[in-house]
Amino acid sequence: MTVHSVTDRVVAEPAGAARAAAFDHALDVLRDRRDEFNAARFVPRDFIALLKRSGMYRASTPNRFGGEPMAPADFMKMVERISAVDPATGWVSSFGSSLVYFAALPVESQAMIYADGPDVAYAGGLFPMQEAEKVPGGYLCSGVWQFASGCRGADIIGIGLAGGPDTGGKPLTALVRPEDVEIIENWAVAGMKATGSHAVRADRVFVPEAMTFVRGGPPQIDEPLTRYPSLAYAAQVLSVVTLGAARGALDYVVEVGAARSSITGGSSKGNRPAYKNGVARAEAELRSARAFFYETTESVWRQAVLGETISAEDRALLRLSATHAAHVGRSVVLAAFDLAGTGAIYETHPLQRFLQDALVPAQHAMLQTNTFEAAGAVLLGLDAGIPSFP
């Protein structure tokens, strides 16, 4: 399956100053259009094209196919900066990391996907896993899959299939072209509206077996990024959205608190003891969670680059740092909301964007509170109690 981009074969700007400028331009456009994206409930294709120009959609394409794989920390810092402007768009941009899953495909299949270039936008609506009819050469797929974030701007979509004897019972992801499925616009939510995480429906769509893979399965290409734990990375790129949201919220209350006077003409909010204390505590919590998150990421990345064994404990720490960041980030946004006072309850208040979106990542199955227990179990040498953890 050669991917014909819905964004008209947009390619990244040359690495260096031009690409950095493209990213800064995308952030400027986002500041102007984030309300539009929120109202439309999806990030449009023309903005995905801007992110492609910034290199985000070749950041996990293997080097051998023209990609320019980024160190996870470097990629996630880009997601974090986007999320500080608009968390929902940050969530969509985070899936620039998800081509790491394709490394489990046969090499020939990967070559077909990247035949027209390395800048590929992928969206996955994987659940619930559906039974597919096995036919010669592949599967006939029918069903409805939920939570396909970014599907309105994707070049390729993944759907989840229940595994069988051929896969050792492990579920499969089947890759389909967007035009072969129907997008069901059912994303009626309070937070992360602009992610466009609609459902997708397929009706007896044939998917060649060579275009299916076990999510997180053994990579068929050996590069540093394919050695980095893919499922942990999937949790991290969602978690870092909350760190960005917390940064955006905290920057707002610092700016307001630094004003010389309040809206009533009285002393600045920042002069109030509770405000100063709240800002300081939130800043310390955010920076501490962020330090743990990136310290763990960079430690495991060094092992991947050197080809060293990445242990279950290493992967558990990645998952723990991701869960911790999502929950701390959420608490920082709530602290900023408290500091902002009554005005923050209005729908049009700047903090509402961060509040509504920042509550969502920690609700994700990969970041819920039970993953704290699972990480602790692995660190103690016990069974995690959660499938595919860490």
The mean predicted confidence, pLDDT, of the chain is 95
Q: Do 244 and 365 share a structural domain?
A: yes
Which of 327, 290, 339 lies closest to 73, judged by CA? 290
Of the ranges 8-22, 82-96, 317-331, 370-384, which one carries the lowest mean pLDDT score? 8-22
Q: Do 340 and 237 share a structural domain?
A: yes
Residue 260: C-alpha distances to residues 133, 223, 252 (Å): 68, 54, 15
Percent of the chain at pLDDT exceeding 70: 96
With 70 as the cut, is the pLDDT of residue 117 above it?
yes
Q: Do 129 and 93 share a structural domain?
A: no
Domain end point (choices 82, 113, 144): 113
Residue 385 lies in a domain: no
Q: Do 350 and 236 share a structural domain?
A: yes
Instruction: Give tens-digit pLDDT for 187-219.
Output: 999 999 999 999 999 999 999 999 999 988 999
State residue 387's pLDDT score.
Answer: 87
State residue 136's pLDDT score.
Answer: 97
State residue 261's pLDDT score.
Answer: 62
Residue 390 lies in a domain: no
Structural contact between residues 34 and 195, judged by C-beta atoms closer than 8 angstroms: no
Residue 219 lies in a domain: no
With 70 as the cut, is the pLDDT of residue 348 above it?
yes
Q: Do 370 and 254 share a structural domain?
A: yes
With 80 as the cut, is the pLDDT of residue 8 above it?
no
Rounded-to-integer distance, Cα 10 and Cα 16, Å: 18
State residue 312's pLDDT score.
Answer: 97
- Residue 81 CB neighbours (<10 A): 19
Q: Do 349 and 271 share a structural domain?
A: yes
Q: What is the CATH number of the domain that holds 232?
A: 1.20.140.10
Q: Do 324 and 241 share a structural domain?
A: yes
State residue 2's pLDDT score.
Answer: 60
Which pLDDT band holds residue 112 (cuts at 50, 70, 90)?
very high
Average pLDDT over residues 160-174: 86
Domain end point (choices 113, 130, 162): 113
Q: Is the peptide bond before 118 cis (omega within 30 degrees of 0)?
A: no
Percent of the chain at pLDDT exceeding 90: 91
With 80 as the cut, is the pLDDT of residue 26 above it?
yes
- H or E segment at 373? helix 370-379
Residue 336 lies in a domain: yes
State residue 184's pLDDT score.
Answer: 98
Structural contact between residues 79 and 90, judged by C-beta atoms closer than 8 angstroms: yes
Sign of CA dihedral 78, 83, 85, 87: positive
Instruction: Give tens-digit pLDDT for 250-301.
Output: 999 999 998 866 656 667 888 899 999 999 999 999 999 999 999 999 999 9
Residue 10 lies in a domain: no
Q: Is the peptide bond before 106 cis (omega within 30 degrees of 0)?
A: no
Instruction: Give tens-digit pLDDT for 36-58.
Output: 999 999 999 999 999 999 999 99
Instruction: Give tens-digit pLDDT for 75-95.
Output: 999 999 999 999 999 999 999
Residue 183 lies in a domain: yes
Domain that holds residue 44: 17-113
Q: Do 108 and 127 share a structural domain?
A: no
State residue 134's pLDDT score.
Answer: 94
Residue 7 lies in a domain: no
Q: Do 357 and 242 share a structural domain?
A: yes
Rounded-to-integer distance, Cα 346 and Cα 98, Å: 36
115: DSSP letter: T
Sign of CA dihedral 380, 383, 385, 388: positive
State residue 90's pLDDT score.
Answer: 98
Rounded-to-integer distance, Cα 81 and Cα 241, Å: 9
Residue 130 lies in a domain: yes
Q: Do 53 and 156 share a structural domain?
A: no
With 90 as the cut, is the pLDDT of residue 233 above it?
yes
DSSP string, 47-111: HHHHHHHTTTTSTTS-GGGT--PPPHHHHHHHHHHHHHH-HHHHHHHGGGGGGGGGGGS-HHHHH
Which pLDDT band holds residue 357 (cuts at 50, 70, 90)?
very high
State residue 167's pLDDT score.
Answer: 77
Average pLDDT over residues 316-342: 97
Q: What is the CATH number of the domain that holds 41?
A: 1.10.540.10
Q: Do 303 and 253 share a structural domain?
A: yes
Q: Do 141 and 83 share a structural domain?
A: no
Q: How many domains does the chain have?
A: 3
Rounded-to-integer distance, Cα 247 and Cα 13, Å: 28
With 60 as the cut, is the pLDDT of residue 311 above it?
yes
Q: How far is C-alpha 267 from the geometric centre of its chain's CA atoms?
A: 41
The amino acid present at 298, given as its one-letter code, is E
State residue 113's pLDDT score.
Answer: 97
Domain end point (choices 183, 213, 243): 213
State residue 168's pLDDT score.
Answer: 75
Q: What is the CATH number of the domain that holds 143?
A: 2.40.110.10
The helix/strand/coil state of 175 is strand
